[in-house]
Amino acid sequence: MAVGDASAFLLNIMSSVFIISVNKKLMGATGFGFRYVVTLNALHYLTTSVWTVIAKRIGMAKVDEGSKAPAHVPLSAVVLFTLVSNASIISLNTSLMLNSITLYQIAKLGIIPCTCAVEYFLYGRVFTSQMVLAIMVTLCGVGLVSLNELTLSDSTIGVFVALCSVVSSSGQQLMVRHLQLKHNVSAGQLLGVVAPAQGASLLLLSPFLDKVTTGGYVTDYEWTQGALLCMVLSCSAAVLVNVSQFLVLGRFTAVTYQVLGHAKTICVLCVGYVFFGGIITGQQLLGMGLAIGGMMGYSRALQAAPAAKLASQEPDPVESSLAELLQKNKDANNV
């Protein structure tokens, strides 16, 4: 179990860092200048849909026996998840376009408190003081890494979109785990159901949204061999990102995913420093140390919380009597 958890999370970090690097080349002004973000996201999910079908054919994914459906997830749940997930994708990209990097990063940091509040009020999850402290240290560390200035000169619409990205992103991450547990489906089964819906809906929305954000259509783009290769790499990396995200969210809570997921921010910064000539300041080094310490502290607090809860409970006399009776029967049978 521990090896599987670590492998899933490591795959998520590596694939996320890789896709960011590829997309920077694909969409950057010094790269191939592909600015049609919604179309790109639609292609990501459509590629993921094709992969889930191939995975079932070659035996890499679970198949429900006695059912023609890929997974037992109601249509209403698929529609709701698609709406929330698309809102997350569109609002994050719109926030990045309308707002400064500062506000965009602040909004991403706000996903953790929002997710904690939802898990506390709706699911009754209890956060120990050690867990809260570790979360605060992690947020401070990531803030020092990603925020270079605190002057907010963003519009009212931009702030509203940033708030929408916080709520929708938190909802999307909570729903992945909720749907897997409620309908007893694996990460691959759930992804096989929602990926086609997301890809098709984003593809239908892409002409309008790309026109609004870029002033043109994807058909106006002049493709080159390098751009096509970069697009293939981006879609391939998206499959790994989507699969690993569903695996991680199915194994961990959304809060844990967010806390540990800030390791990706540090990895992206290091990749930018190594491959793109970035500069790591003393403030960022301090932030990296705080973030790593906070993530380690959260992991230890998360492991200690159940043990502390069990240690504080008094033994149930009924269970003690039952255990004693079973032990006596076992001893009699041995004799």
Distances in Å between the Cα of 92 and the Cα atoms of 28, 111, 139, 264 are 18, 12, 19, 17
Does 324 map to a domain?
Answer: no
Distances in Å between the Cα of 301 and the Cα atoms of 33, 253, 309 are 45, 14, 12
Hey, what amino acid is at 305? Answer: A
Structure token pair of residue 181: 């547990």
- For position 262, what pLDDT does the model report? 67
Of 179, 334, 198, 152, nearest to 246 (Cα)?
A: 179
Q: Are 122 and 66 in contact (CB under 8 A)?
A: no
Does 131 map to a domain?
Answer: yes
Does 334 map to a domain?
Answer: no
Distances in Å between the Cα of 171 and the Cα atoms of 73, 83, 198, 215 are 18, 11, 15, 31
Does 250 map to a domain?
Answer: yes
Q: In the chain, pLDDT over 70 holds for what percent of residues?
A: 71
- For position 308, what pLDDT does the model report? 43
Residue numbers of the chain with a pLDDT score lower than 50: 63-70, 149-150, 307-335
The rounded distance, in Å, linking the Cα atoms of 146 and 283 is: 10
Does 329 map to a domain?
Answer: no
Phi, psi for residue 165 in degrees, rounded to 5: -65, -35
Does 32 map to a domain?
Answer: yes
Does 317 map to a domain?
Answer: no
Helices 225-251 and 156-183 sit at what angle, rounded to 10 degrees?
Answer: 60
- For position 64, what pLDDT does the model report? 45
Q: How many domains does the chain have?
A: 1
- For position 46, what pLDDT does the model report? 93
Phi, psi for residue 151 in degrees, rounded to 5: -90, 115
Domain that holds residue 279: 2-308
125's CB contacts (< 8 A; 6+ apart) are 119, 253
Tens of pLDDT, residue by residue over 114-137, are 888 888 787 777 778 888 888 888
Alpha helix segments (H runs only) across the chain: 2-27, 37-57, 75-98, 101-109, 111-123, 129-146, 156-183, 187-214, 225-251, 254-275, 282-312, 317-334
Does 321 map to a domain?
Answer: no
